[in-house]
Amino acid sequence: MKVGTRLLFALIALWVVTGIPAKASDAKFITVQSTTSTQNSGLFDFILPVFKKQTGINVRVVAVGTGQALKNGRNGDGDVLFVHAKSAEEQFIVGGYGVKRFDVMYNDFVIVGPASDPARLAETKNIFSALKKISTSKSLFASRGDNSGTHKKELQLWTKTGLDPTLQSGTWYRETGSGMGATLNVAVGMGAYTMTDRATWIAFENKGQMKVLSEGDPLLFNQYGVMLVNPKKHPHVKAELGEKFISWLTDEKGQATIAAYKLKGKQLFFPNAK
Amino acid sequence: MGEIGQAFAIAFDLVFSLDRNLFAIVLLSLKVSLTAVIIACILGFGLGAGLASLRFPGRKAIIIMINALMGLPPVVVGLLVYLLLSRSGPFGVLSLLYTPMAMIIAQVILITPLVAALCLQSLQDLHYEYDEFFRSLNLSPSSKMKTLLWDARLSLLTVALAGFGRAISEVGAVMIVGGNINHVTRIMTTAIALETSKGTLALALALGIILITISVAINAAAMLIRSTAKRYAHA
């Protein structure tokens, strides 16, 4: 068993030398359930080191869709939620799963699509007419289809337009069931329209022939909120550290840091905590 | 298709600039998957040897089960381990979710059936050959198992490599139970998924190239061990 023993020793040496513990027990940290847009846009990579420097607290981000983040929060798998689906968040609070919800920042959604613009969307500011044009021309539309904040918003807008695209699922309406970036990749690949938050769009590096075709309707407002998972439901929640993160995000220091984050010369998120 | 060429250039740059972040990600990938393989081998070899050398009621059913479980979808294993380790799950108090240990557990569940089934396959043929010899010596079951495992050690190395290959390349399970947390649970495959979703396809592919290179190196090292051991055996 020489080879096996040697391998085993090599492995033990690897664990010891590199010293990353298998169990997450190091120092002060909180787990934040958040969305793909805040991660993919690079916001966390920018603001978290600043927060760490000012408070000594490490923030571990699990980036999933808002729907899954809320579900994970409900199960107690995280200390803080940082998401963007206001009514679902309010339900979360009403259900007693979270303590209190705070507005943090906003940006907006845009409709992007192929430069050839088969549905003639360009310059259509009104979101209802934009969606109607896509639907009547039966142009390909890639939907997140994953119960995320963006997906909920998109469905809401279709409903307000008086349309139910899910009836056309599989024809021109394509539900990818994946994150924003993955859905953008799909849209680029098949020349489809899709709705994305502006931050992910600006940061996205595989735009191909796609561009923003409809923007600016006040209904495309995208509000981000933060809340502590209720320690009364889940006693292990690091309430003190989590509250520190929440108050940092919503006070001057955090708000200024969010405003300072720019990518390709553009500000991606606009602080609006009260 | 400029991305593919670009990917090689980026991969080259990353490796030769000794990028610290990349180094940590590679190391964690290896750590998680190698640990999972060792645990899976301990369990799988035991199971495979037992099934090869012993005859008991229900043996066939177990063999069918582990053969079927070879095809476990990683995302299902991830979901299962998530539900078990979640704070609301039965093992929530251990606070293992979103740690490398959770990823190891998921990979062990994923590859143990594969290791056991392939081990059984190698040992079964050997057992057929040794059966009379075992009978004449009236060996105990545990000595039978030990003999079989020892004599098949070179094929078992290949079995371990197959397990390692499945572990290091899967993303579905570790993404759910690890959470792809930067500096904590981000490994090669989850980093590739993240870069793909950012649309930085060349960087994603570059990471893929590095992952493949590491797999090739590990397989080559194992083959070297194998051929050296063979030479000794014939000397």
Helices (H) then strands (E): counts for chain A: 11, 12
pLDDT tens, A135-182? 999 999 999 999 899 999 999 999 999 999 999 999 999 999 998 999
* A149-161 vs A66-74: helix crossing angle, rounded to 10: 120
Mean pLDDT over the full length of chain A: 91
Task: Say if the Cβ atoms of A182 and B38 lie within 8 Å.
Answer: no
Chain B neighbors of A22, CB-CB under 8 A: 99-101, 104
Q: What's the pLDDT band for B226 if we cut at 50, 70, 90?
A: confident
The Cα–Cα gap between B124 and B130 comes to 10
Residue A87 has which token pair? 């009514």
Structure ipTM: 0.83
Supply the pLDDT for residue A4: 59
Closest-CA distance, B61 to chain A, in angstroms, reads: 30
Q: What pTM value is reported for the model?
A: 0.88
Nearest-angstrom CA–CA distance, B163 and B43: 12
pLDDT at B8: 87
The CATH number of A108-220 is 3.40.190.10
Predicted pLDDT of residue B228: 86
Domain ranges for chain A, please list them: 2-106+222-271, 108-220
B166 vs A269: CA distance, rounded Å: 40
Q: Is the pLDDT of residue A23 over 70?
A: no
Tell me what pLDDT residue A22 has.
44
pLDDT of residue A274: 87
Whether residue B98 and residue A179 make contact (CB cut-off 8 A), yes or no, is: no
Locate the DSSP E strands across A18-175.
Answer: 29-34, 58-63, 80-83, 98-114, 141-143, 173-175
Most A CBs within 10 A among B197, B201, B224, B231, hence the mutation to make, goes to B197
Measured CB to CB, residues of chain A less than 8 Å from chain B are: 1, 3, 7-8, 11, 14-15, 18, 20, 22-24, 31, 36, 39-40, 45, 60-63, 72, 74-77, 178-182, 184-185, 203-207, 234, 236
Q: How does DSSP assign B7-49, residue by residue?
A: HHHHHHHHHHTT-HHHHHHHHHHHHHHHHHHHHHHHHHHHHHH
Dig out the tokens for B11 from the structure.
Answer: 């991969």
- What confidence tens digit (pLDDT) does each residue in A33-63 have? 999 889 989 999 999 999 999 999 999 999 9
The CATH homologous superfamily for domain A2-106+222-271 is: Periplasmic binding protein-like II (3.40.190.10)
B6 close to A (CB below 8 A): no
Q: What percent of chain A has pLDDT over 70?
A: 91
- Give the model's pLDDT for residue A44: 96
At A24, the pLDDT band (50, 70, 90 cuts) reads very low
- How far apart (Å, rounded) are the C-alpha atoms in residues B227 and B220? 11
**Are B135 and B143 contacting, i.e. CB atoms less than 8 angstroms apart?**
no
Whether residue B29 has pLDDT greater than 60 = yes
* pLDDT score recorded for residue A8: 66
Domains along chain B with CATH numbers: 25-188 (1.10.3720.10)
Q: How far apart are CA B158 and CA B149, in angstroms?
A: 13
Question: For residue A108, which amino acid is it?
Answer: D
Per-residue pLDDT of B174-197, as tens digits, reads 999 999 999 999 999 999 999 999
Residues in A closer than 8 angstroms to B28, CB to CB, are: 20
Q: Which of B116, B103, B122 is nearest to B187 (CA)?
A: B103
Same fold, A2-106+222-271 and A108-220: yes
- In the prediction, which pLDDT does A11 show? 67
Place B1 in a pLDDT band, splitting at 50, 70 and 90: low
Interface with chain A: mutation pick from B184, B200, B224, highest number of A CBs within 10 Å: B184
Q: Mean pLDDT in chain B? A: 92
B101 to A22: CB separation less than 8 angstroms, yes or no? yes
Among A35, A150, A184, A205, the residue to mutate for chain B (most B Cβ within 10 A): A205
Contacts of A76 in chain B (CB under 8 A): 86-88, 92
Under the banding of pLDDT at 50, 70 and 90, the label for residue B231 is confident
**What pLDDT is recorded for position B36?**
97
Residue A172 and residue B165 in contact, taking contact as beta carbons nearer than 8 Å? no
Contact assessment for residue B179 and residue A62, using Cβ atoms and an 8 Å cutoff: yes
